[in-house]
Amino acid sequence: MSLEILILIVILIFSVVIHEVSHGYVANVLGDPTARLQGRLTLNPIKHLDPVGSVIIPALLVITSSPFLFGWAKPVPYNPYNFQKGGKWGEALVAGAGPAVNIFLALFFALLLQVFGTASPEFFELGFAVVYINVMLAIFNMIPIPPLDGSKVLSAILPLGLSMQYEKFRSMLEFNPFLGFGIVILFIILFGNNFAQLIISFSRLLIGM
């Protein structure tokens, strides 16, 4: 495995780890200590790594030169029935925390590139990889396909009647993860390249290219 591939995988791993920790942190703020009590509010990647989603799938995507780079860590557990704050927005706040922190990381590194991007080609490539991967994670996770984060956010903002119908659909896919991930994989197969080009364009826009 080349150094470039290894760096991309490391960036992706830490990006998905921060994504997952943010879910648990917000859940803890809202009153649910599940993630904290299970030792998941840590940036130690060993606590979060999923062998398939954190290593094998990203490595295959990078090795095959796929423009679509994606992965996941073990989901941070939370129990919405423990929430003492947030009301009907509780799950949406927890779900939205992951993409929000990815956007923050993308904006932070985009700003660094705008200020120091000409320091060296290596620094620019590293920074752009961080921006690209985090924009990819944020936008992809906000697609409202269960079990992606966007499904929980959409459920909270829909009118009550539509929300109840959508909840049935979401529950069905979350209790049948192979079906849910099957739809996600189908999306990647059909729209992955176009989606990746959109992310690249948006990432370049952020850094002023």
Whether the pLDDT of residue 195 is over 70: the answer is yes
Q: What is the length of the chain?
A: 209
Predicted confidence (pLDDT) per residue in 33-81, tens digit: 999 999 999 999 899 988 888 888 888 887 877 777 777 888 899 999 9
Mean pLDDT of the chain: 88
Catalytic residue among 4, 20, 91, 122: 20
Predicted confidence (pLDDT) per residue in 95-116, tens digit: 999 999 999 999 999 999 988 8
**Better-scored residue on pLDDT, 167 or 98:** 98
Grade residue 137 by pLDDT with cuts at 50, 70 and 90.
very high
Write down the pLDDT at residue 1: 53
Separation CA 129–CA 203 (nearest Å): 9
Grade residue 158 by pLDDT with cuts at 50, 70 and 90.
very high
Residue 122 falls in the annotated catalytic set: no
Share of the chain above pLDDT 70, in %: 99
Under DSSP, the state recorded for 50 is: -
> Is the model's pTM score more than 0.85?
yes
Contacts of 202 (CB under 8 A, 6+ apart): 135, 139
Report CA-CA distances (Å) from 172 to 23, 58, 90, 180: 22, 27, 21, 9
